[in-house]
């Protein structure tokens, strides 16, 4: 069969060589064994089940939640002379019947199904098929640990158990260690082998800018885009309202731009997406609803207008840039407000502890002072030995210095204010601000009032977050983000411990 797989790759798909892992996965599948495939988007996952599907004398069932992607893949397969069809909520009853007939008559090599449909037909005609392989695409949707949980996926195990001797394949671009374990269990994979291809996308530069005020943020985005005239990009916003605001602003100043969110009609969304893919619209300002399953190779930048909720989502979203391998840029904005807002959401929702933990990891990444790619990849289980040289921290390494006195000033401010106030008030006191809040609380009488005049507001903020990251201060999110001094913080205050701080990374536009 080995020769056959190469011949199919060349003759049907027109490629000369397999990408890393593809061949190994295909061979294992042909042997009838289960596999877990973790490859970045665009990595070539589909080939891993498409080639075995052509070699088996039966049908391969592909489960996917993405209707538009199913349609595209089936069209591409048909164009290559492969007997493929899909079965989901987008087709008519008549079309359904045609697909069922073909499937039952053994006239299909691949059948794509949405999980809902699969569940609804698994006890009827699906039972009559000669199923030789099952591929579960976007397998992270089965896990509550993932960021895109879909309840229908949890019923796939019953289907798996009904086909104990058929190889199953779980495919995803996003799953950390705990999610992987969960997915294997939920899908009932048996002795599956894990295939991870490198997630490192060297052509993507990574930049993070923190604590930028809204107006400045918009200005920076405008100048960012102006320097990349006629290039395609995606700007992700948290709210629908923001997508419209930002898009309208960019449109007013003459950019080719559209917004996209779940509040639009299907037709509007589809048109927006098609225009973007065809380069008729250059920039899309969207909520995270946008991009799943979009295969556009020349996206040159991805901007996050707000902090993403977790690193999985973030990495998937920036991964939509530079699929053609050419240099592409990613830029993330975050501020504490996003973080506090999400923390509150997470308090009400299910899995709140897990969501909060993921959110904390996201924030740590945003505030990190070491190579960002190292942090990201290590989150996904890959460890770089060298710094990447293509992130903002590598480009502008922070210098560290003795920050004991600065830290003592901040801590003594917190102590004198009674550990009741948040970052803004502390900075105002340290900088000797005259604002109404400071007056109301009579903080101008404190000994620490004005001791930090020489440091800018933003630099103070940066330092205080470093102090929190180093464990001298705790930010009590549940108590209006009041700052409290930790036991090691007290040691610093008493002069029993010294502190290293790093110079804040410049947040000015380059």
Measured from the CB of residue 213, what is the shortest distance to Zn ion in angstroms?
A: 27
Q: Are 338 and 307 in contact (CB under 8 A)?
A: yes
Measured from the CB of residue 176, what is the shortest distance to ligand ADP in angstroms?
A: 18
Nearer to Zn ion, 220 or 392 (CB): 392
Contact code string over 340-379 relative to Zn ion, x by CB under 5 A: -------------------------------x-x------
Question: Is residue 307 within the footprint of Zn ion (CB under 5 A)?
Answer: no
In the list Zn ion, ligand ADP, none, the entry touching 50 (Cβ below 5 to 8 angstroms by class) is none
Q: Are 382 and 200 in contact (CB under 8 A)?
A: yes
Nearer to ligand ADP, 10 or 439 (CB): 10
Backbone dihedral angles phi then psi of residue 315, each to the nearest 5 degrees: -70, -35
Nearer to Zn ion, 91 or 368 (CB): 368
Q: Are 283 and 257 in contact (CB under 8 A)?
A: yes
What b/e string do you get for 470-490 counting C-beta neighbours within 10 Å, with b at 16 or more? bebbebebeeebbbebbeebe
Strand partners, 62: 112, 135
Q: What is the binding site for ligand ADP (CB under 6 A)?
A: 15, 17-19, 22, 39, 41-47
Question: Is residue 332 within the footprint of Zn ion (CB under 5 A)?
Answer: no
In the list ligand ADP, Zn ion, none, the entry touching 233 (Cβ below 5 to 8 angstroms by class) is none
In the list ligand ADP, Zn ion, none, the entry touching 371 (Cβ below 5 to 8 angstroms by class) is Zn ion
Q: Are 236 and 303 in contact (CB under 8 A)?
A: yes
Nearest to 192 by CA among 211, 175, 206: 175
Nearer to ligand ADP, 42 or 58 (CB): 42
Measured from the CB of residue 50, what is the shortest distance to ligand ADP in angstroms?
A: 8
Burial (0-12, 13-18, 19+ Cβ within 10 Å), 339: buried
- Distance set, CA 56 to CA 50, 85, 258, 430 (Å): 10, 17, 44, 72
**The one segment of 323-331, 354-362, 391-399, 499-507 that binds Zn ion by CB under 5 A:** 391-399
Measured from the CB of residue 344, what is the shortest distance to ligand ADP in angstroms?
A: 34
Residues in the chain: 510
Bridging pattern class, strands 482-485 and 473-476: antiparallel
Measured from the CB of residue 136, what is the shortest distance to ligand ADP in angstroms?
A: 13
In the list ligand ADP, Zn ion, none, the entry touching 394 (Cβ below 5 to 8 angstroms by class) is Zn ion
User: CA 161 to CA 163: how far, in whole Å?
Assistant: 5
In the list ligand ADP, Zn ion, none, the entry touching 274 (Cβ below 5 to 8 angstroms by class) is none
Bridging pattern class, strands 299-304 and 283-286: unpaired
Structure tokens at 196: 């991870």
User: CA 250 to CA 302: how far, in whole Å?
Assistant: 15
Give the residue, chosen from 234, 318, 332, 391, that forms a contact with Zn ion under the rule CB under 5 A: 391
In the list ligand ADP, Zn ion, none, the entry touching 68 (Cβ below 5 to 8 angstroms by class) is none
Quote the longest CA-to-CA distance of the chain. Answer: 87
Nearer to ligand ADP, 139 or 283 (CB): 139
Measured from the CB of residue 236, what is the shortest distance to ligand ADP in angstroms?
A: 19
Nearer to ligand ADP, 153 or 334 (CB): 153
Question: Is residue 394 within the footprint of Zn ion (CB under 5 A)?
Answer: yes
DSSP letters for 314-327: HHHHHTTS-TTSS-
Give the residue, chosen from 388, 465, 473, 485, that forms a contact with Zn ion under the rule CB under 5 A: 388
């Amino acid at each position: 069969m080995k020769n056959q797989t190469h011949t199919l790759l060349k003759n049907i798909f027109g490629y000369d060589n397999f990408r890393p892992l593809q061949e190994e996965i295909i061979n294992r599948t042909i042997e009838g064994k289960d596999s877990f495939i973790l490859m970045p988007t665009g990595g070539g996952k589909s080939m891993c089940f498409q080639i075995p599907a052509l070699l088996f004398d039966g049908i391969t069932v592909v489960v996917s939640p993405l209707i538009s992607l199913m349609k595209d893949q089936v069209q591409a397969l048909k164009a290559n002379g492969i007997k493929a069809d899909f079965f989901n909520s987008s087709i008519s009853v008549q079309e359904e019947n045609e697909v069922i007939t073909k499937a039952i008559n053994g006239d299909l090599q691949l059948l794509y199904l949405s999980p809902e449909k699969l569940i609804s037909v698994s006890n009827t005609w699906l039972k009559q098929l000669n199923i030789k392989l099952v591929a579960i695409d976007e397998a992270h949707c089965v896990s509550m640990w993932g960021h895109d949980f879909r309840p229908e996926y949890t019923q796939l195990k019953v289907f798996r158990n009904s086909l104990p001797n058929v190889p199953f394949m779980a495919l995803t671009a996003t799953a950390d260690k705990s999610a992987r374990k969960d997915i294997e269990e939920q899908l009932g994979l048996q002795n599956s082998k894990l295939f991870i291809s490198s997630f490192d996308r060297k052509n993507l530069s990574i930049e993070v800018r923190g604590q930028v005020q809204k107006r400045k943020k918009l200005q920076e985005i405008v100048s960012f885009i102006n320097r990349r005239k006629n290039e395609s990009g995606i700007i992700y916003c948290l709210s629908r309202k923001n997508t419209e605001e930002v898009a309208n602003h960019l449109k007013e100043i003459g950019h080719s731009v559209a917004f996209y969110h779940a509040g639009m009609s299907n037709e509007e969304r589809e048109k927006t997406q098609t225009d973007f893919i065809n380069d008729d619209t250059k920039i899309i300002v969207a909520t995270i609803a946008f991009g799943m399953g979009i295969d556009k190779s020349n996206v040159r930048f991805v901007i996050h207008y707000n902090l993403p909720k977790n690193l999985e989502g973030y990495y998937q979203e920036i991964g939509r840039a530079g699929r053609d391998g050419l240099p592409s840029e990613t830029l993330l904005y975050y501020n504490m407000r996003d973080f506090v807002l999400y923390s509150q959401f997470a308090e009400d929702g299910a899995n709140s502890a897990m969501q909060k933990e993921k959110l904390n990891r996201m924030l740590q990444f945003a505030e990190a002072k070491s190579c960002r790619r190292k942090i990201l990849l290590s989150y996904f289980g890959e460890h770089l030995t060298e710094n990447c040289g293509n992130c903002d921290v590598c480009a502008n390494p922070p210098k560290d210095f003795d920050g004991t006195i600065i830290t003592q000033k901040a801590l003594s401010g917190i102590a004198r204010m009674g550990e009741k106030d948040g970052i803004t008030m502390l900075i105002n006191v340290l900088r000797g601000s005259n604002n109404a809040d400071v007056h109301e609380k009579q903080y101008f009488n404190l000994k620490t009032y004005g001791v930090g005049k020489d440091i800018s507001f933003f630099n103070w903020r940066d330092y205080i977050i470093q102090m929190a990251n180093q464990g001298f201060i705790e930010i009590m999110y549940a108590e209006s983000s009041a700052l409290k001094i930790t036991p090691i913080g007290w040691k610093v205050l008493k002069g029993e411990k010294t502190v290293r701080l790093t110079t804040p990374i410049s947040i000015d536009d380059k």
